[in-house]
Amino acid sequence: MANLVIVESPSKANTIKGYLGSNYKVIASKGHVRDLPKSTLGVDIENGFEAHYINIRGKGDLIKSIKKEAKNAGKVFLATDPDREGEAISWHLANALGIPVEQTRRVTFNEITKTAIKAAIKNPRQVDMNLVNAQQARRIFDRIVGYKLSPLLWKSIKSGLSAGRVQSVATRIIVEREEEIKAFEPSEYWTIEAVLTNGGREVTVRFVGDKNGKLKLENEEQTNKVLSAIGSDDFTVASVKKSVRHKAPQPPFTTSTMQQEASKKLGFQSARIMKVAQELYEGVNIGSENGGVQGLITYMCTDSLRISAEASEAAKMYINERFGVKYYPRSARVYKTKSGAQDAHEAIRPSNVAIEPQKIKKYLTNDQFKLYKLIWERFVASQMESAELNTVVADFTAGGYIFRTSGYTVAFPGYMAIYEESEEEKKHKDGDEEITDLRLPDIKEKELFKNEKIDPQKHFTEPPPRYTEASLIKFLEEKGIGRPSTYTPIITTILARNYVVREGKALVPTPLGEVTTRLMKEKFPDIVDYKFTANMEDDLDAIEKGEIEMQAILSEFYEDFAKELEKEEETISKDNYELPTEETDMICEKCGSKMIVKSGKFGKFAACPGYPKCKNTKPLVEKTEAQEEKKVVVADFKCEKCGADMVQRSGRYGSFFACSRYPECKFTKQKTKELDVPCPKCGGKILTKYGRNRTVFYSCEKYPECDFSSWDMPLGENCPDCGKMLFRKKGKPLVVCHEKDCGYKREVTPEEEISGEN
């Protein structure tokens, strides 16, 4: 009688099958099998916050199939992901199968390799109810906040909105940064650079101050005073400071640092990063010569910097063989995990350091190769010897003022032999001096350099930058808001709810996000308080460690929350939280009203203010009189070659934009908009495209290499029956699966639009 192993995803099941042999059957639950109902609160607050779980719609047949397999199995191993969510899924599976907790066989592994899988199967444990209760507490917190607050938002702002425990905090962060930017008042400052020469040597120096210290040039008058004092004088080398500095490598990746680095270096959005990391973790076929299907990295949801002794030793052997013994430090590097980190898993690293990225490139998608290469190089570099840098800081004087130049050269590359640093990492501090990678000529004290050119420049201070996904994740981590597995869902939710939109890489609050944040700050300040949210995460950690009971934390929270809720339910309708309206110059030809600007899934458009009596909408574009006469649609971007207007044209394959100066300028651009969903076929970006008569369809950015296209909108959500992607049916309130032999479909419910989840 074969044993049964239940994992979460079909791809992971396929990988593990190859490791366990014919005495084991491996099947997938395809995520959660039970959850709180969508149509009701599902939490009995009066009875100890008891959660009422139901089978997830569409999973009935799958649960029957799992029960049948379990009944015929010798032993049942629950092998879902090694975190709170995975522990909860195992607990729900045990409940569905009628297995008491004390009889469960729970197995976890940080990496999907043959050794790790077999070791886990040999050492099962019971389902950890502390972990389960930590997940339940988060789920119940989020359900209560979402279901209790969302109706107040409908009442005071507009219907269909949702308030989430962490999504509201994330929106506040972005809104407050926008307020800082709007309130920022630039101030003037000046810099002076001079190009100096001596024989064939040339250096560029910058103004620092005078003998009394650093000076900030705040206006032109101060700058001219310095220039007058210098005149055409030669510059004298006042001091040359040379030193040898050792620069240590960065630690291996956590979830947060991986997302930040992949965003900066690869340009990936957080959802794309985590999707690819999941693929690398669950297993990829890298060819029989490399061992077939392999899990290439360790578990990707972690805030730990710890690595196993085996991984450390494997890295040492690799570095010594590939680079030589001088590239390995005297003792293995150990990185200290920050306080508050869960440390349940290792840092993100390659499962087998001997599998070099270039060796398996042909077996990976482009995204998989790029991310694996980044993870692999970061890990190897983290175990290597420090780089040795020769630094030089030289001060020059002229007219009683000090100018400075600095730079460094690499004496010994150490870890830099394998890991290419970002521009920020190439700079380092020497006291107050920021030194960049720059080779300077040999400079000696008291030498005279000729003043070839002096360049004063006027500047203005700039406001703080808007958050990107990477910088928002960094802020969330620093404040202790959320955990590694929640960063991407937080960002996905606030974008989907239209509280925030993307402008390039920047995250910008919408008027809806600003008004909702103002309401939350005024009426429910605790919910959007950074410290309160971080403390709640600490409480969840305490539940996981068995230090506190789940019901105690929930009761403490709900007591104050219920009082606030009762008070605001009576008064909130009297407050003014109306969304600002932006008028256009367009007149609705159906009712004569002045049309207003609205935001939708595909950007801004003009709509009649008389909705729902008048449902007229128009594309929001500016037109010249001549273009209006010809009914030409003008794009909201300019020609990338000549800067002229781009206008919509129709061709054999639908609409596109062409330069209005055609045929003088022949630049064209496909009419598309990026959808934040990966391609079901290749994992690339999905583009929303417009065909004739403004009909919308969806296709892969890699067309024609990838031929995916669909009239139905891909959702990025997996089918509960077959695990493939679900689609929103065009023109119908249906969610369907496109898999030929599946046939799964369900209605789009109002509750799904307002579920108020994290």
Report pLDDT digits (tens) over 718-740: 787 777 888 888 877 788 888 87
CATH class of 257-382: mainly alpha
pLDDT at site 468: 95
| Secondary structure of residue 18 in the 3-state scheme | helix
Look at 102-106, 373-377, 656-660 and tell me which has the smallest mean pLDDT: 656-660
- Among 28-37, 157-166, 341-350, top mean pLDDT goes to 28-37
| Secondary structure of residue 536 in the 3-state scheme | helix
pLDDT at site 757: 34
Cite the residue boundaries of each domain of the chain with CATH code 2.70.20.10. 188-248+387-460
**Cβ-based neighbours of 417, under 8 Å, separated by 6 or more:** 323, 327, 384
CATH level 3 topology of 188-248+387-460: Topoisomerase I; domain 3 (2.70.20)
Task: State mean pLDDT over 340-368.
Answer: 88
What Å distances lie between residue 341 and 308, 344, 477, 577, CA to CA? 17, 9, 10, 39
What Å distances lie between residue 63 and 366, 725, 747, CA to CA? 36, 20, 21
Task: State mean pLDDT over 558-573.
Answer: 84
Look at 81-90, 160-169, 575-584, 627-636 and tell me which has the smallest mean pLDDT: 627-636
- Higher-pLDDT residue of 253 and 485 is 253
Give yes or no for residue 36 having a pLDDT over 80: yes
Give yes or no for residue 144 having a pLDDT over 90: yes
**Cβ-based neighbours of 211, under 8 Å, separated by 6 or more:** 400, 402
Q: Which two tokens stand for residue 641?
A: 């070659």
> Across the chain, what does the average pLDDT equal?
87
| Secondary structure of residue 26 in the 3-state scheme | strand
Q: Which residue has the tokens 């490791």?
A: 19
pLDDT at site 756: 33
- Higher-pLDDT residue of 720 and 405 is 405
Are 653 and 630 a contacting pair, CB within 8 Å? Answer: no
Cite the residue boundaries of each domain of the chain with CATH code 1.10.290.10. 257-382
With a pLDDT cut of 70, the percent of the chain lying above it is 89
Cite the residue boundaries of each domain of the chain with CATH code 3.40.50.140. 3-128
Give yes or no for residue 579 having a pLDDT over 80: no
pLDDT at site 434: 65
- Residue 419 is a catalytic residue: no
Q: Which residue has the tokens 């600007």?
A: 597
DSSP 645-665: EEEEEEETTEEEEEETTTTT-
- Higher-pLDDT residue of 257 and 647 is 257
Task: State mean pLDDT over 353-358.
Answer: 96
The H or E element containing residue 472 is helix 469-479
**Cβ-based neighbours of 179, under 8 Å, separated by 6 or more:** none
Q: How confident is the model at residue 598 (pLDDT cuts 50, 70, 90)?
A: confident
User: Does residue 733 have a cis peptide bond before it, meaning omega lies within 30 degrees of 0?
Assistant: no
Look at 51-60, 236-245, 660-669 and tell me which has the smallest mean pLDDT: 660-669
pLDDT at site 640: 77
Q: pTM of the prediction?
A: 0.75
Task: State mean pLDDT over 184-194.
Answer: 96
pLDDT at site 57: 85
User: Does residue 37 have a cis peptide bond before it, meaning omega lies within 30 degrees of 0?
Assistant: no
Q: Does domain 3-128 have CATH number 3.40.50.140?
A: yes
Q: Cα(236)–Cα(398) distance, rounded to whole angstroms?
A: 7
Q: Cα(183)–Cα(175) distance, rounded to whole angstroms?
A: 12
Q: Which two tokens stand for residue 109?
A: 């592994």
pLDDT at site 371: 97
- Higher-pLDDT residue of 660 and 496 is 496
DSSP 351-416: S-TTS-GGGGGGGS-HHHHHHHHHHHHHHHHHTSPPEEEEEEEEEEEETTEEEEEEEEEEEE-GGG
**Cβ-based neighbours of 372, under 8 Å, separated by 6 or more:** 280, 296, 297, 350, 357, 360, 364
Task: State mean pLDDT over 355-376.
Answer: 95
Report pLDDT digits (tens) over 387-403: 999 999 999 999 999 99
With a pLDDT cut of 90, the percent of the chain lying above it is 56
Give yes or no for residue 627 having a pLDDT over 50: no
Closest by Cα among 77, 78, 81 to 109: 81
Q: Which residue has the tokens 């219907």?
A: 159
Are 664 and 655 a contacting pair, CB within 8 Å? Answer: no
Q: How confident is the model at residue 426 (pLDDT cuts 50, 70, 90)?
A: low
Strand stretches in 514-602, DSSP E? 583-587, 594-600
Q: How confident is the model at residue 69 (pLDDT cuts 50, 70, 90)?
A: very high
Task: State mean pLDDT over 494-501.
Answer: 89
Closest by Cα among 11, 483, 33, 676 to 277: 11
Report pLDDT digits (tens) over 309-325: 999 999 999 999 999 99
pLDDT at site 23: 92
Give yes or no for residue 339 having a pLDDT over 80: no
Between helix 309-322 and helix 366-382 the angle, nearest 10°, is: 90
* Amino acid identity for residue 319 in this structure: I
Task: State mean pLDDT over 248-273.
Answer: 93
Catalytic residue, candidates 299, 328, 372, 401:
299
